[in-house]
Amino acid sequence: MHAPEPGPELPRLHVRPREGWVNDPNGLCRVDGTYHVFFQHNPYAPVHGDIHWGHASSTDLLTWTEHPPALVPQPGTPDAAGCWSGCVTDDAGTPTAVFTAVPGHAQEAGALLARSDRSLLTWTAGTSFVAGPPFVEGVEEVRDPFVVHVDGHRYVVQGAGSRHGRPSLLLWAADDLEHWVDLGPLLTDDDPVAAAVAGANLWECPNLVRLPDPAGGERWVLLVSLWRWVDEQHELAGVRYLVGDLQPDGPGLRFVATSGCVLDRGAAFYAPQVLPDGDRTLVWGWAWEVGRSEEQVRAAGWAGVLTFPRELYLEADGALGARPARELTSLRGEPAAPGAAIGTDAFELRCLGAGRLRLLEGDHEVFTLDVGGSAEVPTTVLVDGSIVEHFRGGQTRTERAYPTASTCWTVDVDPACLTLWPLALPAAAAS
């Protein structure tokens, strides 16, 4: 694949290779001071297929070094048809990928291990599933294993469900990562909060993490991405969070939800993964293409991008909030004077009043976004090429808009209520 030179629509500050397909963030980890972000990647075409694990690393969450693919499908192995989503965990000092391997069809997928040294550059995959089909009655597909530690024990949570059935999350004991023990479901849609908030046929990309409770102590937060089967086609229906408690359930655990809602209200957010990082929890999501035709995507040679890292937190009312990772302020240049047009394709807005961000092609409005804020609850918008990330009061929207050589960004707001920064890598990092 030889894509043309990138235009202004290609995000340059976010994680994604120059060419090919990108979807779910995987394997988020920090090893010996270096952040590693892996992601679903087809290096050969901007379509979902031949899925590898792409790999980028950073010491500051700003400057990313792209590495060769970490996991590569191999003929005649359990991952012959794709190395799908999963996580990376530390297994007695050995970085270990726990991921969905697809030998042929999705219904044949299971969980596979791959191990690396602490550079995370070269991986050796296992030759057999640690957990594979057949599964319990009512479960036709499983994927996206996520490792979590509870009270000194290691568990794996897997997304599960069936095209014409109900979703569930499977739970495995995995103190010995090579030998998993089936503990039954962690969650089903018999849970009334989960049923009301997260209706689906299959729950994908489960993430289970503890967050500080402003009222004291900690709460468990569960993220699930909604996979639905509609008119014999699959539909990705956004991401939900559930706040709740882990309770003993026989030899295993049961998640009992007390509240939940939509994680991101935009048109382009799916399959997030969290990374506990000291006193905070980071999250990245996948922003897919919205409003580009198949012909446009193939002509560009790329599709999909990961969001900027965000920090998750619980609000006083129990809602889950998100804000840009604190490091991102280092991308800001000198504040620019607000004017009729924004003369860059990467910028940050902070808005304290009513306003709209627009992308114009002459007099034609290609894209518009309400960026209204207030002194009490300001709005932050981060734009990088075609990805637009909106933050206000803990709520987020991830959108897509596609600048060209003949478009310009403009913001309609009282200049006294607006701060505008161009975004670029710090000079030392860029050199």
CA dist 70 and 97 (Å) reads: 10
List the structure tokens of 335: 């504040």
- Give the separation between CA 221 and CA 217, rounded to whole angstroms: 13
Sole residue written with tokens 């070269």:
122
Is 24 labeled as catalytic in the residue annotation? yes
CB atoms within 10 A of CB 180: 23
Q: Of the residues 24, 144, 191, 345, which is catalytic?
A: 24
Amino acid identity at 292: R
In eight-state DSSP terms, residue 345 is S
What is the Cα–Cα distance from 156 to 30, expressed in whole angstroms? 19
Residues 129, 135, 139, 145: is their CA dihedral positive or negative?
Answer: negative
Rounded CA separation 271/249 (Å) = 28
Quote the tokens at residue 240: 């939900």
| Measured distance CA(161)–CA(298) in Å, rounded | 32
Q: Is 147 helix (H, G, I), strand (E, B) or coil?
A: strand
The catalytic residues are 24
